[in-house]
Structure 1
Amino acid sequence: MANNFVVGGSEAALTPFTIAQMQAMKIYASEDLDYPCRSLDMEKSRNSMVLGEAAGILCLQNNPEKAIAKISGIGYATEELKHSVSISANAECLQKSMKMAIGEISPSEIDAIVMHAPGTRKGDLSEVNAVKEVFGNKIPAMTSNKWKLGHTFAASGILSIEWAILMMEHQEFIPVPFKSSEEIPQKLDNILVNAVGFGGNAVSILISRL
């Protein structure tokens, strides 16, 4: 219905009330570290979510000549949960959204995944389990930006897409510094971006290089 439009999100979550909410849920970081958010650190012994504030805007257009990347797949799903802020052990909602976004493309063509990975023990593990379920033995390189930026809630999805596009433009994978070593992809042509929200809502976007 339109050839060009702007989409984005912003969040100003660093208020005593919001931080107190996260602390009451026992998911907020409590260690004084250089990077207190241990997103994708699968060896962490406690939750480490940290809030951040940000804004991000993208221009979506129906004109590939001016585009810097292409959205080649979109997936979304929900799952029934026992608690509004929990997620199943294998993140069934993310499994469904990733499969929908990948579509007819072979999973082996996905070079990397920008994970939602909020830094909580259960959230990170559930998402990694979902990736293993979808990709089997050939798992794409996994990264996240929350160890550096924190969880910016409404802006986090846009920032994850930006992270993917930057890696694709420079053909350089940005690893999580304390994540277990993994094979660095030789190319970045297709990057999957995950986001999941309270209540079991998941979205996956497949970004492709032009």
Structure 2
Amino acid sequence: MKQPISITAISSISPLGFDTETIWKNYQSESHFFSKKEGNWVAQLQEHTKNEIDSLRHSNSKYKQLDDSVLFGIYSARQAIKSAGWDTKDNFGINIGSSRGATGLFETYFEDFLEHKKAQTLSSPTTTLGNISSWVAHDLQTKGPEISHSITCSTALHAMLNGVAWLNSGMCDKFLVGGSEAPLTPFTIAQMKALKIYSKESDNRPCKALDFSKTKNTMILSEAAAMACLEIGKTNKTLAQIEGIGYGTELLEHNASLSTNADCFQRSMAMALGDSNPDDVDVIVTHTPGTIKGDLAEHNAIKAIFCNKIPALTTNKLKVGHSLGASGLLSIEMAVLMLNHQTFIDIPYLEQSSPKKISKIMINAVGFGGNAVSVLLSK
């Protein structure tokens, strides 16, 4: 890293809640936040959280036409910049990505098109992938750069990498980064089921992320958005510092799988570590989506980089599932909470020792196509 970069605020909206106190309480509980939707496991926003989104939707006539992914983004972005104390005149940059974008709205418009053989007027502008960043920028009234992208499930952490690059370039001194996803639609769930990775479990742990002995895939989709405010240097609002960032890609062996030893993760973790001693990393928040091959490949990569001293491993996916493009930032939030509370969120079925301290945490994310990102945080 050229210079210290701080996370001065972080906000999310997910099945865990939308305020920090509730989210941390839910992380410490033994419950998961899955329910059934049309016979499939999903992680949905709780009713009181949905009410917050409904209030936002009806607060502006223009917002009634927007997809949930956009509204989730607007809501969490508002909370983040409020917590950071940013003002519209700051002209901060925005980079918010999504794996799928406006899935619900797109499916609705396409169903209508199949019936009437005619597209509705707003079917294009309200379903473009850039819609999330554009509407967040509009809502926050900032005139800084606004960027959107999709790099599948590592999208939100790629947004963080991009924000760091802009800050290091000197072209901005504040950047809002994140991801938003509303994938609980019939076609999106059907796509995951077609890959044969979706959970069919019937016990009290429908997602078994980080269970390396499982014999079935257990991925479950989740809806969520998460945003982080990045600033150069350390301030009195600093929640965590970004010590290292890394990325890695690998040759495609299959459209949806990693290599056996996740070469891309080995590259991203090594780059994020830089000159740091691997032994100093206390915790890794893994990507581990709950699939047999995906979880094992990441674990193999971790063993290759950290050798005989593997940090304590954890993930939020056994509680809240996989929010695709938003998942990396949701993991960043989990890491920030553990750093600031000095409390490790353990995995009940994983045999390991809890860390004696939590000074440095690495966060991993990867998407279809082997595009991994790793971020190293410290307090």
- TM class, shorter-chain normalised? over 0.9
Per-residue CA shift, 1:101-132, capped at 9, x if unaligned? 00000110000100000000000000000000
Q: Aligned pair 1:139/2:330, yes or no?
A: no
SS of match in other structure, 1:191? strand
TM-score by length of 1: 0.97
Check whether the contact 1:117–1:124 (CA below 8 A) recurs between aligned residues. yes
Identical pairs, percent: 56
Per-residue CA shift, 1:151-191, capped at 9, x if unaligned? 00111010000011100001111012222x21110111110
1:1-210 mapped onto 2 (5 Å cutoff)? 1-65=171-235, 66-179=237-350, 181-209=351-379
Greater Cα offset, 59-68 or 164-173: 59-68
Mapped to 1, the partners of 2:179 and 2:193 lie a distance apart of: 24
AA aligned opposite 1:72: E
Check whether the contact 1:112–1:142 (CA below 8 A) recurs between aligned residues. yes
Structure 2 unaligned residues grouped into runs of 5+: 1-170
AA aligned opposite 1:105: S
Mapped to 2, the partners of 1:5 and 1:131 lie a distance apart of: 30
| 1:91 shift after superposition | 0.3
Cα RMSD (Å): 0.8
Q: Which runs of at least 4 in structure 1 moved beyond 4 Å after TM superposition? A: none
Structure 1 unaligned residues grouped into runs of 5+: none
| 1:35 shift after superposition | 2.5
SS of match in other structure, 2:225? strand
- Structure showing greater radius of gyration is 2
SS of match in other structure, 2:299? helix
| Higher RCO structure (Cα 8 Å, ≥6 apart) | 1
Mapped to 1, the partners of 2:348 and 2:220 lie a distance apart of: 17
| 1:2 shift after superposition | 1.3
Pairs aligned (count) = 208
Structure whose residues are more often helix by fraction = 2
